[in-house]
Structure 1
Amino acid sequence: MSSKRRTKSTTAPKTEQPRAKADASVEREDPKIFVAIVVWLVIFGAIFFSFKLPNFPVSRADVWQRVPWDLFDLIDPPDPLPAVVSSWGNLSQRIPPLLVATAILLGAWATGQLLLRVVCPDPNRRASERTFFAFALGLSAWSLITLTLGWFGVLSRELFGGLLALAVLAEIGLRIFRRKPAPPNEDTDDHWRNYNLWLFIIVPFVLCMLLGALLPSTDFDVLEYHLGGPKEYFQAGRIEMLPHNVYTSFPFGTEMLTLLSMVMLGDWYWGAVAGKVVLMSFGPLTALGIYAAGSRWFSTRAGIYAAAIHLTTPWTYRISTIAYAEGGLTFYLFAALYAVMIGYERYCAALDARMPWRPFLLAGLCAGSAMACKYPGVLSVVIPLGLVALALPFTRPGERAEQTGGAFRLGLIFALGTAVTIGPWLLKNTIETGNPVYPLVYSVFGGADWDADLNAKWKHGHSPNTYSLLDLAEKVKDVTVKSDWLSPFLFGLAPLAFLLKSKRRLVIWLWAYVGYLFLTYWIFTHRIDRFWVPLIPVVALLAGAGATWSARLSWRIFWIGLFSVVSLYHLTMIAGPLSLCGYNAYLIDYPLARQHTEGYYSPGLPKLNRELPPGSKVLCVGNAVVFAAEFPNVYNTVFDYSIFDQWFADKQSGVPAGQWKLRPADEIRRKLHDAGIAHIYINWAEILRYRDAGSYGYTDFVTPARFAEMQRMGILGPQWPVKDSSGYGPLDQLSPTQLADVQQWAPSLERSIVLPPENKATAVYQRYQIFPVLTGE
């Protein structure tokens, strides 16, 4: 990475933009190594494709058998479907959310371009890198703008739209009046026609991401708080603490973009879909950053290969279309890493003792943005990259005092950037609860609407249950070869990066970071698989570099052919009829899609939406998935105080909750009347899931017998009849613990009905109940 140096160090030296020549780091390989690598890939691929998918009743071999037929059926369906089910004409329904998302992304890009000129200017920065960091700064800025204005109750479409337009106009104006010669072109070691195949492969995956993001959500956590929280803010007209949903006290960096979309569209439901499109952009934008980093430190080919591997990995599609916070966390993790790598490069290129502090300010802003997406960002991004900033001055010979001073300055700059983007969230929690990282670290900070029992329940539900070496080995297997949505190219090719001798030091550090990310996932989290997803772009960068280990034509033909074929497998997983990566009815009629998805995890919700009298308010018990509810409701999550207990239980110290008595009937009636409750909805399916062995647990005060007693007290009327088969669940599909619960604790829920498609009598349990509240004395 040679370049001309200036005689004096500046904040933006020309060494900022070294270009790794195409395959410059490839060494002359031994033919035996070529054979060994082919054998390695064959063996790794055989192991990879030998697994059954952990979350589905199919194996990878089964998916391979479906590849040609499923992909052909996407082009030419065997049985023409009604237009309402699937039609290209339904794409016109996607225009409003797509336009809103486009406006937000355009405004974020413009805002980021303006900020980048101030934070870390560089006239020689390549377009891909400039665009990547512009989106990083712009999306974070708009998240904070939404938080600030929402906190003060100013959720105005006109104001947000005006500010977005102003940013775009300002950027256009600066480009017109400060027109300068274009920066150096991207690396053109090969003609772009040589990369047409990669575009041909990548475009279908990006199109699937876009169409998938334009569908309603079906994931539990997304419906409970990633979208549920912004919906409640939108309906309230402001951002405020929601004591019944502890998850909404997390930093909501990505959720603010969803709220912004709701405000811009003027509708919470379809605005959430527009927000999903904004969040979907994190996937392709991360790939853009991977391409830029790969081109900068390895070669253009490495950058393209790495970006293609990332975009075609099913995990990238899944995270991009479900509206998890991991999409933003992954993007900002890579952005912060990229900025630190630039800072290290500038520091090594500087000829004097002046600190190249601007890249570390940029890194701090991105690190804080990562934590603003999800608390674990402090472990995966803020701490390790902050330590790099502190350690960097000690890598250069000099006086210890000078090194210490340099470390202090770089650490302070990094911390300042981090504080700017995560600080408002910590301040919000401090004001609302007295705990900046609520509900975490309760033993130190305490917290409003929280106690020792809830904290113990939280820690039990969010901590590892074992640290055995056997579990460690199992998780290594999950992360490298077993997880449903992995690509075999990630850990199949990443080790080959060690063959690039001139880049080996960089490769070692990147692998060390991957190892650190895995260990923090295994040691500090409750090991949900998506918690390790942020390491994927780092592995993809290594895999892209590994794919350039040889310049031989035979290797390129083998590698590109292999990638093309395996991409068909990935596309089948994503777009095929098995829906292995999530809901993928891409061309469905929007009203029908809403109808199909509104009952996910809440089987009684469609009935309530259609049959409740206008204005009726519902108390939801055991049901926190109320995003699709079109009626006013009261609920609590499993980790919050049970509202049913608080309102109706005659609690006695030292007496188990299951033995508490109901309060007097008049007192209960008065409470229901004061709260405006007209109906009570109990989701027994969710309560049974919470009561299952190894789950979070649920209050013993809530039982079917309790509601029968409230009926005898004249508080509740006859339950609504449940005629639809979706209101019942087969007993043979319950776990042993759940089955015992139904038979011993809730026998009144057992039924025997005829269920399709067999149309024979089946032993079932009633999944939900709805009771009207009687108004008479």
Structure 2
Amino acid sequence: MTQPETTQSTGLRDRLLAVGTVVLFVAGLVVVSQGLSPLAARFGVLLALVIESALAAGAWLTAAIGLGYVLRRALAGPDGELGVGLVAQTGLGIAGLGLIDWALGLGGMLNPTTAWVVTAAGWGGLAWQLGATRGQWNDPERWPTWPWPIIAAAPAAGLLIGATCLAPGGLWSSEFFGYDVLSYHLQLPQEWMRNGAITGLEHNVYSYLPNLAEATFMHLACWFGSAAEAAYAAQMLTAMITLTAATGIGRIVDAFAGDRAGAIAAGVYLATPWTIVTGSMAYDEQAVMALGAAALLTALRGDQSTTLTQDARRGLIIGLLCGVGMLCKLTAAGMIALPIVMVVLIDRRSGARAQITRVITFALGAGVMLGLWMIRNGVWTGNPTFPFATELFGTAHWTPEQVARWKSAHTPDVSLPEAMRLFAARVLGDFQFGYIVWPAALVGAIFGWLDAGRRRVAIAMVLMLIVQAGFWVFMTHHQSRFAIPMLLPACVLIGLMLGGRLTMLGGIIGVGLLTVASFALYLNQREGNAWMYIDGVNWQTKLNYQSPVYLPTNVINQLPPHAKVYAEGYATPLYIQRPITYHTVWDASPLGAALSEGGVTGARQWLIDHDYTHVLIDWGMLSLWTSPGNYGYDPAITRDRLDQLVANVLSPVQRWSTISLYRIR
């Protein structure tokens, strides 16, 4: 009689937990929509956006999981002798489907038909897995259970998912309201769709980065017709991958400190403001984190390899995951790949031969992945690492002046004391890391050291943090966001100190405090009016044209069909539906060349010869770029030259704050 009662009480607990989690998740969505009297209307639109975008993003991610099952069997063996579970499978699937999208895009073969074909193939792998494990699903006693602390992360998950329903350009002041999304994360797929293939674009230097995450956004764009239309789905996919990363962190901690500690560690990661910010935008950080978590878990389970063949397979899996992480974001080389290979190196439980074998196959897997980008860039530009290492491999289509500006902005050029001060201010003291994460990780390291069963993992995580901090200080240009991978070992360390009731309670309180910080950050966006980016127009047209930030787009899209726009200083044309020529701050200005060669008269003739009817000038961005200490701009473009152009060639059409639209006379 005792067992049925236990089962019944457990079932009741699970149901209450599920209900509570859903209620708190929905509460997070409600806070995103804000307001009182129009609350129901805005919340209804937000919910519709969640469902619509989740269907597309979920289709991609489930296909990736299915493909991951095939790759898992091929690389780890059908019997799972490497201890490679669902986390690594999902990581392999994200990597595999991303590579397929990337390859199809490069070959000019990524289109709606092929996008559905590869998705269906992934679903086939998922069906295979479900069929192979149907015995588990037929037996409720074997179903996975949710540790109760997971409920603490539900409001943050609601905020994360809800924030994806604000179109790029609406959220996050730390990211200049999605400037990078509008200028390349989604703008590149937009142009690739028009060009029919992933190509290098001389007016957008970011097209020469690996851009594997952007290839997945192109996959979604194939279903919607354009990257602008797919913006919500791209953000939702990023959010789902963020949840995957949090799950991976939780699973790492679960393996060494139990599932409740794992749930809290996952909650800490999910509730950290930087996670919410980058996880709700079409960014690439969270793909790096998901792949990194899968690679780290695989590395820490090295004791389950008993033969050199298994060691070779393990190292290869870790290397492939880290290598694809680098294809998502190059800084993953020093923030994920290097720290994790250090973890592999210090794992001496299987002997020196096992270590060497794993490192060799790691290098093979990671090297092949990175080599794909280098081959592509070599073919495109003659420089396999363009726009980097130009002094070794050539400057491609750039001038020495462009190279100098790029290097000055992307190479650390401060003294060591100044770099350490920046680390203290932008990482340790940055509000978006939540203040409490780093001290809690330090306490976790101490707890882990004192526990013999967790000491090895604690040492590995501290080593990771040291390597990551060193890379951030010496090899990056010191943006706070570049330190996000440090949350991986930090959250694991936090999980290692959780065990007793008191520490569990402290962990849950920590998740709550971070959640409050993230909601406060959201509610402070757009002077408390972020909700204005959620309304019926937003859902129906994918863009709220009544919002001030989009007014230039609205006017330009209403120009006559034959209109063609040249933009100077304006490099965020994602939503513009008329032909437009733009360039990033790093790239040469075609108008500047015309001004240098023929003055105002020559520039007017150049504009007419190229069928331009209008000129759009972002005076504010030009002033920002050319301000002392900033990146600089094409020296052929000066305020005096533009003033002369406006006075003699252009007639004003409309002005919005610092942006002006002109008609060519």
Answer whether TM exceeds 0.5 for this pair.
Answer: yes
Q: Report the AA paired with residue 459 of structure 2.
A: I
- Structure 2 distance, partners of 1:471, 1:75, is 37
SS in 1 for 2:311: coil
- Structure 1 distance, partners of 2:156, 2:121, is 33
Deviation at 1:71, TM superposition (A): 8.7
Q: Report the AA paired with residue 614 of structure 2.
A: H
SS in 2 for 1:238: coil
Deviation at 1:160, TM superposition (A): 1.4
Match for residue 643 of structure 1 among 590, 595, 599 = 590
Q: Deviations over 1:368-402 (max 9, x none)?
A: 111001111222233444455567679837xxxxx
1:93-242 equivalent positions in 2, closer than 5 A: 93-121=49-77, 123=79, 130-173=85-128, 175-176=130-131, 195-196=147-148, 198-218=149-169, 219-242=178-201
SS in 2 for 1:677: coil
Q: Which residue of 2 aligns with 1:427?
A: 375
Q: Deviations over 1:243-264 (max 9, x none)?
A: 1000111111111111111002
1:68-107 equivalent positions in 2, closer than 5 A: 74=31, 79-81=36-38, 86-107=42-63
- Structure 2 distance, partners of 1:449, 1:607, is 34
Q: Report the AA paired with residue 292 of structure 1.
A: R
- Structure 2 distance, partners of 1:395, 1:77, is 55
Q: Which residue of 2 aligns with 1:469?
A: 417
Residues 29 and 158 of structure 2 are in contact (CA less than 8 Å); yes or no, is this contact kept in structure 1? Answer: no
Q: Which residue of 2 aligns with 1:719?
A: 652
Q: Which residue of 2 aligns with 1:771?
A: 662
Residues 690 and 697 of structure 1 are in contact (CA less than 8 Å); yes or no, is this contact kept in structure 2? Answer: yes
Match for residue 662 of structure 1 among 593, 599, 602 = 599
Bigger CA radius of gyration: 1
Most deviating of 105-114 and 587-596: 587-596
- Structure-2 change in CA distance of 1:700 and 1:72 (3 Å): closer
- Structure 1 distance, partners of 2:528, 2:215, is 25
Q: Which residue of 1 aligns with 2:304?
A: 346
The sequence identity of aligned pairs, in percent, is 22
Q: Report the AA paired with residue 158 of structure 2.
A: L
Q: Which residue of 2 aligns with 1:519?
A: 470
- Structure-2 change in CA distance of 1:697 and 1:410 (3 Å): same
Q: Deviations over 1:407-464 (max 9, x none)?
A: 6643332123224433332221111011221100111111421232211111111122
Match for residue 497 of structure 2 among 518, 535, 546 = 546
Most deviating of 417-426 and 322-331: 417-426
Match for residue 265 of structure 1 among 224, 231, 238 = 224
Q: Which residue of 1 aligns with 2:644?
A: 709
- Structure 2 distance, partners of 1:186, 1:248, is 50
Q: Deviations over 1:575-607 (max 9, x none)?
A: 53556999566853353772359764x874343
Q: Which residue of 1 aligns with 2:613?
A: 678
Q: Which residue of 2 aligns with 1:530?
A: 481
Residues 566 and 616 of structure 2 are in contact (CA less than 8 Å); yes or no, is this contact kept in structure 1? Answer: yes
- Structure 1 distance, partners of 2:231, 2:28, is 30
Q: Which residue of 1 aligns with 2:631?
A: 696
Match for residue 293 of structure 1 among 252, 266, 270 = 252
Higher helix share: 2
SS in 2 for 1:720: strand
Match for residue 331 of structure 1 among 286, 290, 300 = 290
Segments of 5+ residues of structure 1 without an aligned counterpart are 1-69, 398-402, 651-660, 729-766
Q: Which residue of 2 aligns with 1:608?
A: 556
SS in 2 for 1:718: strand
1:360-399 equivalent positions in 2, closer than 5 A: 360-386=315-341, 396=351
- Structure 2 distance, partners of 1:130, 1:372, is 23
- Structure 2 distance, partners of 1:252, 1:149, is 13
- Structure-2 change in CA distance of 1:538 and 1:90 (3 Å): closer
Q: Report the AA paired with residue 613 of structure 1.
A: P
- Structure 1 distance, partners of 2:663, 2:368, is 50
Q: Deviations over 1:22-46 (max 9, x none)?
A: xxxxxxxxxxxxxxxxxxxxxxxxx
SS in 1 for 2:613: strand
What count of residue pairs does the alignment treat as equivalent?
626
- Structure 2 distance, partners of 1:372, 1:506, is 27
SS in 2 for 1:439: coil
1:457 equivalent to 2:405? Answer yes
- Structure-2 change in CA distance of 1:308 and 1:394 (3 Å): closer
Deviation at 1:151, TM superposition (A): 1.8
Q: Which residue of 2 aligns with 1:499?
A: 447
Residues 364 and 415 of structure 1 are in contact (CA less than 8 Å); yes or no, is this contact kept in structure 2? Answer: yes
Q: Deviations over 1:326-380 (max 9, x none)?
A: 112222222222222223x235xx3x66662111111011111110011112222
- Structure 1 distance, partners of 2:167, 2:396, is 34
- Structure-2 change in CA distance of 1:567 and 1:463 (3 Å): closer
- Structure 2 distance, partners of 1:492, 1:580, is 31
SS in 1 for 2:543: helix
SS in 1 for 2:432: coil
- Structure 2 distance, partners of 1:420, 1:295, is 32
**Root mean square deviation, CA, Å:** 3.4
Q: Which residue of 2 aligns with 1:19?
A: none
TM-score (norm 2): 0.85
Residues 624 and 635 of structure 1 are in contact (CA less than 8 Å); yes or no, is this contact kept in structure 2? Answer: yes
Residues 288 and 328 of structure 2 are in contact (CA less than 8 Å); yes or no, is this contact kept in structure 1? Answer: yes
Residues 333 and 366 of structure 1 are in contact (CA less than 8 Å); yes or no, is this contact kept in structure 2? Answer: yes
Deviation at 1:621, TM superposition (A): 0.6
1:304-323 equivalent positions in 2, closer than 5 A: 304-323=263-282
1:620 equivalent to 2:575? Answer no
SS in 2 for 1:270: coil
- Structure-2 change in CA distance of 1:409 and 1:183 (3 Å): farther
Q: Which residue of 2 aligns with 1:437?
A: 385
- Structure-2 change in CA distance of 1:389 and 1:504 (3 Å): closer
Most deviating of 319-328 and 166-175: 166-175
- Structure-2 change in CA distance of 1:530 and 1:701 (3 Å): same
- Structure 2 distance, partners of 1:605, 1:108, is 35
Deviation at 1:285, TM superposition (A): 0.6
- Structure 1 distance, partners of 2:96, 2:122, is 12
Q: Which residue of 1 aligns with 2:580?
A: 633
Q: Report the AA paired with residue 322 of structure 1.
A: M
Q: Which residue of 2 aligns with 1:6?
A: none
- Structure-2 change in CA distance of 1:183 and 1:528 (3 Å): farther
Deviation at 1:169, TM superposition (A): 2.3
SS in 1 for 2:616: strand
Q: Which residue of 2 aligns with 1:24?
A: none
SS in 2 for 1:719: strand
Q: Which residue of 1 aligns with 2:209?
A: 250
Q: Deviations over 1:669-716 (max 9, x none)?
A: 553234221111111000001011211112344345434534665xx2
Q: Which residue of 2 aligns with 1:749?
A: none
SS in 1 for 2:634: coil
Residues 652 and 662 of structure 2 are in contact (CA less than 8 Å); yes or no, is this contact kept in structure 1? Answer: yes
- Structure 2 distance, partners of 1:381, 1:568, is 26
Q: Report the AA paired with residue 212 of structure 1.
A: A
- Structure-2 change in CA distance of 1:412 and 1:605 (3 Å): same
1:407-426 equivalent positions in 2, closer than 5 A: 409-426=357-374
Deviation at 1:123, TM superposition (A): 3.5
SS in 2 for 1:281: helix
- Structure 1 distance, partners of 2:200, 2:566, is 19
